[in-house]
Amino acid sequence: MASGVNLPEKEDRTMKTHVAFTIVVAALLGIGLARGSEKGMTVSGRFNSPFISHNGGIAYLQICITIPVAESRERQPMNLAVVLDRSGSMADEEKIEYAKKAVRSLIDQLQEGDYFSFVIYDDVVQVLRGSQRVRDKRDLRDLLDEVYPRGATNLGGGLIAGLEQVERHLDREFLNRVILLSDGLANRGITDPYELRRIAQRYRSKSISVTTMGVGLDYNENLMMGLSQSGGGNYYFIESPNSLASIFRKELRSLSSIVAQNASVELRPADGVRVLDVVGCEQPRDGRCVTIPVGDLYSGEQRQLTVELEIPEGTGTLQAVNGVLRYEGRHGWFESWPSFAASLHYTRILAEIDKNRDNEVQALVDVALSTRSVDRALKALDEGRKDDAAKELKAAQSAVMLSPAAYSRGAGGAMLGDQRARLENFQNLLKDSADLRKAKKAIQYENYQVQKK
């Protein structure tokens, strides 16, 4: 249901009574459920155990957003800007030629009615084509003949130019996105990663998203991944430039399956409850309300968020948190309705906590917590502490093996088995790789993909 819809007074009272009853039942069960808009999206919240010690402690809430497979329909029109690095290093391994081939492939898949703009940058930022409707594709392809490698890397200037081009025809009827490609370090113009992320975040609030593609081993993966997270798009580590065309096709397919843009989950914890972390996500706060940016939602996907909560001491039942999913559709802003609520029961019998543990949720939580350990290992690598990074990865693997759900039957045990194998592979990459840049980028990219899912 779209926010702001007016109902007849009698129907409104009946509906509110039904909502209140639903929330009470959900609270008694320790879970929260919410019905999405006409798109059929659902959002729920479950604790790893519905019981907690009367002394309080740490509890983990698993939020699940489920998006149904969209009915067959024409894809939404696109408003795209491609921002291409043409610095001198793009001459290596023919990266510039592979990039031009990939852009040609993207142009071939655009439709009349789409908007397209093309920006290139080295020291200087150049808008080769301002945002216009797609008409003659031959003219678009001809633009690529003007692109050759030279100069340094004004990545920030290229990003801003691409965002400004998309903003010229900003409309919720379109999928508005910038695709930024680079193989090097931002060394001209705005180079501060935090400032660049703030820029991406600001345009994200206008429903313009940013996808980043890092090519080779010399680019700043922290910056490129951070821009995609703040910008609500995707991030790709492209080790070999000859795979660029397939990555562009993958990005276009993902764009074609978007059913909601600029989504976020707003959480409101109860008095005394603190949100300590949302694994792998930023968490802007507005008073007691915590907003979790989710980005775009795609047909047929299921998105999981792991929230770490500090619970105060108490007795009886505590409705620990409630929340709502908000997103932008083609006809305005929507929110899940009713909002979900999740409760905990205090107990002095600690065996009740383990007896009632939800092994599937516990497995999701422990996989998420292990990705947080990988993030710490990556930070140690950035600081030149390879041995500390190896210890973090080993500790993460041990924690997964000791999970209460590690040997449970079903999906939970399988998820933890997959993550254990993944962490072992990370350790082998770190130990055996002759180039730490390659190992770090590969580990970070796979860890990012696990967190995003």
pLDDT above 90: percentage of residues in the chain? 65
- Which amino acid is present at 307? V
22 found inside a domain:
no
How many domains does the chain divide into? 3
10 found inside a domain:
no
5 found inside a domain:
no
Do 225 and 84 fall within a single domain?
A: yes
Query: Rounded to whole angstroms, what are the CA distances from 437 to 68, 89, 217, 379, 424?
Result: 39, 17, 6, 13, 19
CATH number of the domain residue 336 falls in: 2.60.40
Which residue, 331, 355, 379, sits at the end of a domain? 355
247 neighbors 254 (Cβ within 8 angstroms): no
Report the candidate in 216, 204, 383, 225 with the shortest Cα–Cα distance to residue 296: 204
pLDDT for residue 37 is more than 70: no
Of the pLDDT bands very low, low, confident and very high (cuts 50, 70, 90), residue 14 is very low
12 found inside a domain:
no
Do 379 and 327 fall within a single domain?
A: no
Do 315 and 216 fall within a single domain?
A: no
Which residue, 292, 321, 355, sits at the end of a domain? 355
Do 369 and 233 fall within a single domain?
A: no
Do 439 and 378 fall within a single domain?
A: yes
Which residue, 355, 373, 404, sits at the end of a domain? 355
**Tokens 């999701």 belong to residue:** 364
401 found inside a domain:
yes
Do 153 and 208 fall within a single domain?
A: yes
46 found inside a domain:
yes
Do 248 and 100 fall within a single domain?
A: yes
Q: Which range of residues forms the domain containing residue 307?
A: 30-70+267-355
Q: What is the pLDDT of residues 249-272, one digit of tens each?
A: 999 988 988 888 888 999 999 999
Backbone angles phi, psi at 342, to 5 degrees: -135, 135
- From the CB of residue 326, how many other CB atoms can be counted at a distance below 10 Å? 18
Do 66 and 131 fall within a single domain?
A: no
314 found inside a domain:
yes
Do 430 and 345 fall within a single domain?
A: no
Q: Of the ranges 46-55, 240-249, 371-380, 419-428, which one carries the lowest mean pLDDT score?
A: 240-249
* Residue 384 or residue 407, greater confidence: 384
* Six token digits for residue 250: 């993958």
Beta-carbon contacts of 65 under 8 Å, excluding residues fewer than 6 positions away, are 41, 42, 43, 263, 265, 294, 297, 302, 303, 304, 305, 325
| pLDDT computed for residue 398 by the predictor | 95
pLDDT for residue 36 is more than 50: no
Do 402 and 341 fall within a single domain?
A: no
Report the candidate in 90, 132, 100 with the shortest Cα–Cα distance to residue 216: 90
**Radius of gyration of the chain measured on its C-alpha atoms:** 24
Q: What is the DSSP string of 169-221?
A: T--TTSEEEEEEEESS---SS---HHHHHHHHHHHHTTT-EEEEEEESSSS-H
46 neighbors 33 (Cβ within 8 angstroms): no
CATH number of the domain residue 166 falls in: 3.40.50.410
6 found inside a domain:
no
Report the candidate in 230, 224, 183 with the shortest Cα–Cα distance to residue 88: 183
pLDDT for residue 282 is more than 80: no
Of the pLDDT bands very low, low, confident and very high (cuts 50, 70, 90), residue 335 is low
Beta-carbon contacts of 403 under 8 Å, excluding residues fewer than 6 positions away, are 362, 363, 366, 416
Do 244 and 118 fall within a single domain?
A: yes
Do 144 and 212 fall within a single domain?
A: yes
